[in-house]
Amino acid sequence: MKDNCIFCKIANGEIPSKTIFENDNFRVILDLGPATKGHALVMPKEHYANLYELPEDLAMEAMKIAKQMAEKMTKALSCQGFNLVQNNGEVAGQTVHHFHLHLIPRYEGDGQNILWEPGKASPEELEEVKNCILQ
């Protein structure tokens, strides 16, 4: 556990939360400032600041839990769609620096817009980016 990390305290039960799933490695809690009804966060009990620090086995487990929770929550809440969102770094919108995966149920007319403005890229630019990543 990391000192002064609120999600370490929540994940390990030191601070109470609305827990909707728990196992040895993870806790899933309702977000205090929900984007929509049922917005939840999958968080490891050990402290990892972000996806880069998270070990691969826990990354796999986080996605498995997300799938199971999405199925359960979709039935329970009768949402029509579902977003998974995971922010890394302030520039990407991360505000709490303990890895978490957002589970966001979506409803017709919920007023949320968890999307981006599509940009433009020429075939040459795409080729350059591809080569940059592959090298």
Question: Footprint of ligand 5GP on this chain (CB under 6 A)?
Answer: 6, 17, 29, 31-33, 87, 93-96
Contacts with Zn ion, 55-94, as mask; x by CB under 5 A: ----------------------------------------
Report the nearest approach of ligand 5GP to the CB of residue 10 (Å).
6
Q: Which one of ligand 5GP, Zn ion, none interacts with residue 47, CB within 5 to 8 A by kind?
A: Zn ion
DSSP states along 1-58: --TT-HHHHHHTTSS---EEEE-SSEEEEE-SS-SSTT-EEEEESS---STTTS-HHH
**Burial tier of 53 (Cβ tally within 10 Å: 0-12, 13-18, 19+):** middle
Would you say 11 or 70 has its CB closer to ligand 5GP? 11
**Which spans of this chain sit near Zn ion (rule: CB under 5 A)?**
2, 5, 7-8, 47, 98
